[in-house]
Amino acid sequence: MSVERTQVGIVGAGPAGLLLAHLLRLSGIESIVLENRTREEIETTVRAGLLEQGTVDLLREVGVGERLDREAFFHGGIYLRFLGRTHRIDMKSLTGRGVALYPQQEVVTDLVKARLAGGGEIVFSVSDVEVRNQPGERASLSFRQGDTKRTIACDFIAGCDGSHGVSRHSLPAGTLARHDRVYPFAWFGILAEAAPSSDELIYARHERGFALVTTRSRTLQRMYFQCDPSENPEAWSDESIWAELRARLATADGWAPIEGRITQKVVVPMRSLVFEPMQHGNLFLAGDAAHVVPPTGAKGLNLAVADVRVLARGLARFYKSADRSELDRYSQVCLDRVWKAQRFSWWFTTLMHRSDAETPFDDKRQLAELDYLVRSRAAMTSFAENYAGLPFD
């Protein structure tokens, strides 16, 4: 069996892996992308996609923002709802930055198209992937493509294959420090065939628990409410789901969500997780392979984009001048942003959710903090800076 060669081997064809491959191509760097799913699967699996301003700007800058500009929902603010009243945080006026709702599978579709149009290789439906990254040896990827086994020698490997992928698990025991927090609640999520209920996202805190209203398209909406992690989605009828959402989203003026046929029910666990360092030898972890955030702050995809931006810049510098300094600082630079995003996501999650362990003191404290947040320009500005995304360095 002959050994093929490329400069950068990328494991995972999610937003992180595909964007990295695209950035490398723009710098004249060869890469190959491996993915265990089919192209149809990665382009049709419906996933959330709230893009920070920096992510939108980067996608435009590198030539994959045309459809995003045409089809995304651009929001300059969000609504916070508590005690039956709705308050808007105007991120655009406070910071000059907003967010875009553009589902993750659409980002993936755009990046796959750009990758293939540029002559790049994505190997779909691979199996038995092995990552070799031994000190003093050339890194390599081995995998099966149908009945064929292939081995590709690489200068570097980027592990962009998520929290359950092979990349992180290929590292020697004791290499990474794990920092995590598991939350005592989850999200019950639905997809519903309905028109948008709101022109911007609604984050609601209610005595029964958190609820969220967001948009996927002009005809498909995603909504969530806080539940127990052990909840069985199939135990809920459509009517009981809508009744729960109506209760948690109720306002004094009688607002109610627009209802429709529910096409999906899912329970989403909540956790915060960071592995550090995000590199070992010539293997670099990016996105969910290195860190997971609760979805409240909508940071997951955006952190992945920030990671591969740093990695692509370091690789470009190495191939231009044999200077590894930026690659050696990859973890340090990325983790600085990761921990700020973890802090914001933890804070916003604990602010908006109810816990059985909470006391009446905690309830009053949460409401006081929310009241301060929507009345203080300084507090709203801080929120807007974090939610719309801290500027890239």
Question: In the annotation, is 360 catalytic?
Answer: no
Give a yes or no: residue 291 inside a domain: yes
- The answer to whether residues 15 and 126 belong to one domain is yes
**Terminal-to-terminal C-alpha distance of the chain:** 44
On whether both 209 and 243 belong to a single domain, the answer is: yes
* Residue 159 counted as domain residue: yes
Q: CA nearest 49: which of 99, 98, 13, 103?
A: 103
Residues 277, 264: one domain? no
CATH assignment at residue 225:
3.30.9.10
Please answer whether residues 308 and 160 qualify as being in contact, where contact means their C-beta atoms are separated by less than 8 angstroms.
yes
Question: Is the same domain home to 169 and 249?
Answer: no
169 is catalytic: no
Q: Residue ranges of the chain with pLDDT lower than 70?
A: 1-2
Cβ contacts of residue 52 below 8 Å, gap of 6+? 97, 99, 298, 302, 388, 389
| Together in a domain, 265 and 233 | yes
319 among known catalytic residues: no
Rg of the chain (C-alpha set): 22
- Neighbouring-strand partners of residue 179: 274
- Catalytic residue, chosen from 102, 224, 330, 387, is 387
265 is catalytic: no
Q: Are residues 214 and 239 in the same domain?
A: yes
Please give the pLDDT value at position 40: 95
Among residues 295, 319, 330, 353, the one annotated as catalytic is 295
> Is 224 marked active-site?
no
Contacts of 16 (CB under 8 A, 6+ apart): 158, 160, 286, 287, 288, 304, 305, 307, 308
244 and 337 both lie in a single domain: no
Instruction: Please check whether residues 254 and 138 belong to one and the same domain.
Output: no
CA distance 373 to 300: 24
Catalytic site residue from 22, 206, 280, 299: 299
Let me know whether 136 and 254 are in one domain: no
Instruction: Out of 15, 22, 75, 319, pick the active-site residue.
Output: 75
Predicted pLDDT of residue 182: 95
Strand runs (DSSP E) across the chain, as ranges? 3-11, 31-34, 50-52, 73-75, 77-82, 85-90, 99-101, 121-123, 126-132, 139-145, 148-159, 177-193, 202-205, 211-215, 220-227, 261-276, 279-280, 283-285, 291-292
- Please name which of 250, 307, 314 lies closest in space to residue 282, comparing C-alpha atoms: 314
Specify the pLDDT at position 1.
54
Number of domains making up the chain:
2
What pTM was estimated for this model as a whole? 0.95
42 with 128, same domain: the answer is: yes
Same domain, 58 and 150: yes
Structural domain containing residue 163: 3-73+102-180+271-347
- The CATH number of residue 136's host domain is 3.50.50.60
Catalytic residue, candidates 102, 203, 224, 330: 203
